[in-house]
Amino acid sequence: MQIKNSKTTVAVLLTSVFVISICSILYELLISSVASYFQGSSILHFSIVIGIFLSSMGIGSYISRFIKNNLLDWFIGFEVVLSLIGGFSTFILYFAFSLTPYFYLFTFILITSLGVLIGAEIPILTRIMTPYEELKDALAKVLTFDYLGALIASIIFPLLLLPMLGTMRTAFAIGLLNLTVAVINTYVFKRRLKYPKRLFSLSGITAIALIIGFIFSFQINRLFERYMYNDQIMFSAQSAYQRIVVTKWNKDIRLYINGNLQFSTRDEYRYHEPLVHIPMTLTNAKERILVLGGGDGLAAKELLKYDDIGQIEIVDLDPEMTKIAKTHPVFTKLNEQAFSNKKVVIHNEDAYKFLEASSDIYNLIILDLPDPNNTSLGKLYSHEFYGMIQKRMAAGGVLVTQSTSPYFAPKAFWCINKTLNAVFETTLPYSAYVPTFGQWGFNIAVNSPHLPISIKRIQDGLDPDLNLQYLNSEIIPGLFHFDGDMEESPVEVNRLDNQILVKYYEQSWDKMR
């Protein structure tokens, strides 16, 4: 097909720019997300990926000035190579994390390669268009379509691609989209290419590899996850927010979210019993209980042991997690079908936004949240957030929050305690030993300046008829004792504008690696 119409030529090239832009932003988002899944600290990894990607694009743009002939051949060749590297990007990252100690090296090489290729393409495309458009018009149109593609990519990645396809299949899908640009351009401009047959052959081989990867992406994902988790994978799912994996070894069932262990059935009761029953001994009324997090239903199970309890509201961001907890046989057995109980109401919302919009008053608020390993979670441990919670608490109402490990992350633990102290006059820290995790911490606050928290009151208030596996009145005093290596550290209050807690948390756990 000979291109005689300059408008057709420009239209094909601008469409290519649009698709390339979508793919390039998707690669950035995908690599950043996978790196955050494996290594935590989402802001750090997104910042590094974007920084390296953009600087590599600058290098690619500079390199493009040395390409003087056969611009269409070079452009299409770059697209084919880009589709291959980008399509296998998640595969490469899973391989690097699961089977090598060089995850960051692989990530750096991957980002740099993609950035250089993408950076070289835009100047080359602009130069290809200049015979048909003035430079100022060509550049303006190229950048317009480039920025528009970036907008589309940023919308479809979290809303469509990630929840529907998961990270592995999304990468192969983006690679195929990239390759489509190469194939269309090869076909449309074949009479102007020096090596059309080679480009068609290379595209065909790449397409076969990407299609095979796309078809078997779930199997590939499970294969790498077996190396990551060692135990048998019973269930795995990718939601819009996180990767959920459930493993089993003998009788031990474990839940992982984004590669981080959430609980083990061997000892989860050592976490959930202190989290729930200690504050319940201080709660004067049980009409309305709010649980922020707790999407596995295990905190709700403990609350439902009280016959006189009223309504329990669960606020968990991820509908996939609460759906699994409500319907999957493994979870319904573990949580004793807590989410099917009429007393339990589930809200799939962001906890911060839920409290902002709420006008309800609660007798007990339980924060069963993930550790503050990024700023999205860190805000749920902030001075401002605790202030919002206080407004939703009844007089004499009780707040309890899991507070990470006072042994492994003492500054993070005492930062949460100090932040609570900045809002509530009555607070008390405590901890329990959970073999899977080590010493684990909690903090209680009471919404009354005239109601001190008495350990004797907690002992006397624990109902022996609950038949708990771990918690009893004899061990309660020991929960409030902190050994010398867990004593309070000098820390700052965690606020939205400093997010110091995330820094404390990362520093503490980095030392353990």
Look at the block and give the residue holding tokens 């493993």.
247
Q: DSSP assignment of 395-417, as one string?
A: EEEEEEEE---TTTSHHHHHHHH
How confident is the model over 454-501, as pLDDT tens digits?
888 899 889 988 989 999 999 999 999 998 888 888 999 999 998 999
Confidence tier at 41 by pLDDT (50, 70, 90): low
Same domain as 447, residue 311: yes
The answer to whether residue 126 sits within a structural domain is: yes
**Quick check: is 371 catalytic?**
no
Inside any domain, residue 124: yes
Q: Are 31 and 42 in contact (CB under 8 A)?
A: no
Tell me, yes or no, whether 274 and 176 share the same domain.
no
Query: What is the pLDDT confidence band of residue 450, given thresholds at 50, 70 and 90?
Result: low
Please tell me which residue, 367 or 97, carries the higher pLDDT value.
367
Same-domain pairing of 180 and 249: no
Query: Who wins on pLDDT, 315 or 125?
Result: 315
Q: Are 483 and 441 in contact (CB under 8 A)?
A: no
Mean pLDDT, range 264-274, rounded to an integer? 96
Same domain, 237 and 312: no
Tokens for 488?
């309070």
* pTM of structure: 0.78
The boundaries of the domain holding residue 414 are 267-512
Q: Is residue 506 part of a domain?
A: yes
CA 326 to mean position of chain CA atoms: 22
Q: What is the CATH number of the domain that holds 312?
A: 3.40.50.150
Query: For 323-407, where are the E strands, in sequence order?
Result: 344-347, 362-368, 393-402
Contact by Cβ (8 Å): 314, 347:
yes
Residue finishing a domain among 197, 224, 251 = 224
State the catalytic residue, choosing from 73, 296, 368, 371. 368
pLDDT tens digits, 126-176? 888 888 777 777 788 888 888 898 899 999 988 889 888 889 999 999 999
Tell me, what's the pLDDT at 1? Answer: 38
CATH for 58: 1.20.1250.20
Query: What percentage of the chain reaches a pLDDT higher than 90?
Result: 65
Same domain, 186 and 288: no
Q: Is the C-alpha dihedral spanning 387, 392, 397, 398 positive or negative?
A: negative
Residue 43: pLDDT over 80? no
* Token pair in block for residue 44: 């750090």
How are beta strands 426-434 and 438-446 bridged, if at all? antiparallel
Q: What is the mean pLDDT of residues 213-236?
A: 86
Domain assignment present for 498: yes
Q: Beta-strand (E) ranges in 294-381?
A: 311-315, 344-347, 362-368
Please report, for the domain that includes residue 233, its CATH number.
Answer: 2.30.140.10
* β-strands 288-293, 260-264 pairing: unpaired
Q: Are residues 381 and 366 in the same domain?
A: yes
Q: Enumerate residues 6+ apart whose C-beta is below 8 A from 510.
A: none
The residue ranking higher by pLDDT, 114 or 5, is: 114
Give the residue among 348, 342, 300 at the shortest CA–CA distance from 322: 348
Q: Are residues 305 and 342 in the same domain?
A: yes
Residues 145 and 92 placed together within one structural domain of the fold: yes
Query: Rg of the chain over CA atoms, in angstroms?
Result: 27
How many domains, in total, are found in the chain?
A: 3
Determine the Cα–Cα distance for residues 398 and 422; give it in Å rounded to an integer: 16
